[in-house]
Amino acid sequence: MKQRKEDEEDQKDISLAFQLLPQDISKELLEMDIDEMQRKIIEIFKLNNCTIDLREAALADYYTSAVWWAKEQGFNEQQMSGFFTAVHTLLENIKEKHMTLVDNMKSLKQMLVGIGTEISTDFTKGGLDFLDLVQAQAIIKYITNSLFQHYRLYEYMFSNTQAEEIIGHEIQIAVPKAANLPFPPPLDEGIEEEVINLYLKEALPAPASTSDIWNMNLDYKIHLAESVCLNRRLQNLRKQTTQKHTINLESDIFSQLTAQDVQEVVESVAAEMLGNLQHEVAVKLQEKENAIITKINKVLKVA
């Protein structure tokens, strides 16, 4: 009987403050900004997968917004810690006990019992009796707007498993050929084959030490050497053919000319050159003649 009375007295003196958030942590949270507060809450409740898990993300968001709201209301450490215990209890009722909206509202009502009244010895406290009536009304309004109005969403979130989505993307990458090949394909885009054979062939990687690859390498070198020699022969042959064709063409033209044709060509060239010379001489004589006449006229006028 005595033990029962002691339990009842302990139950009457129960307080929701500092159950989840001790006094030092509560004071530290009230001094933080919103980002630091969220990181601290994630660390305290070990919500490390909040970036990929919907439940942990919702809890981290709700806990952070609740503490920040308490800070904006000017709650002290005790009031903020008790308020946080209340919202944490309501969320746990949904998550673990699958409590209905009506039952959860009754749970909140039970936690608010004793606020603003003198509690008798036979009256059980709710645990938030350190709040006043104005603060209690603000808490009821906040929880109603943030939790009770979205109760079905929280029920659905805590009762259904989140589907895992695997996002993949295929990428096609073109890689160069292996360096252990005897020779890669020759670079013929804008580079002459002779330049490749003289300069680039030396920089190619050495072949593997097997007889087959060595024979392939030797055959390739012989083929390149024959190609270079053949190209040079073709170029020389083209030059010789062009020179012979030019000489034969000139000899054929002069062999077809007669003495009369040669005389006409010489006369036409001489007439063109001498005609221009005669015209220039006549112009100069006319200029000198005009100058002399001008001087004579000046002398006669003076006399």
What mean pLDDT is reported for the chain? Answer: 77
Give tens-digit pLDDT for 17-67.
889 999 999 999 999 999 999 999 999 999 999 988 899 999 999 999 999
Whether residues 155 and 272 share a domain: the answer is no
Which of 99, 128, 159 is at the close of a domain? 159
In a domain, 12, yes or no: no
Which of 127, 159, 191 is at the close of a domain? 159
Cα separation, 125 vs 179, whole angstroms: 82
Could you give the number of structural domains in the chain?
2
In a domain, 83, yes or no: yes
Cα separation, 45 vs 42, whole angstroms: 6
User: Phi then psi for 284, rounded to 5 degrees?
Assistant: -65, -40
Q: Which helix (H) or strand (E) holds 212?
A: helix 211-255
Cα separation, 56 vs 44, whole angstroms: 13
Token pair 């006369």: residue: 267
In a domain, 193, yes or no: no
Cα separation, 133 vs 46, whole angstroms: 34
Regarding predicted confidence, which is higher, 83 or 265?
83
In a domain, 143, yes or no: yes
Could you please report the per-residue DSSP string of 65-114?
HHHHHHHHTT--HHHHHHHHHHHHHHHHHHHTS---HHHHHHHHHHHTTT
Give the model's confidence band at 232: pLDDT under 50 very low, under 70 low, under 90 confident, else very high. Answer: confident
Weakest mean pLDDT among 93-97, 148-152, 183-187, 286-290: 183-187
Give tens-digit pLDDT for 66-86.
999 999 999 999 999 999 999
Which of 131, 159, 187 is at the close of a domain? 159
- The pLDDT of 208-218, averaged and rounded, is 50
Cα separation, 234 vs 255, whole angstroms: 31
Q: Cα 234 to chain center, whole Å?
A: 55
In a domain, 1, yes or no: no
Whether the predicted pLDDT of 9 surpasses 90: no
Q: Residues with Cβ < 8 Å from 138, sequence gap 6 or more?
A: 73
The range of the structural domain enclosing residue 155 comes to: 23-159
In a domain, 242, yes or no: no
DSSP 161: P
CB 90, CB 16: distance < 8 Å:
no
pTM of the prediction?
A: 0.52
Regarding predicted confidence, which is higher, 6 or 237?
237
3-state secondary structure of 191: coil
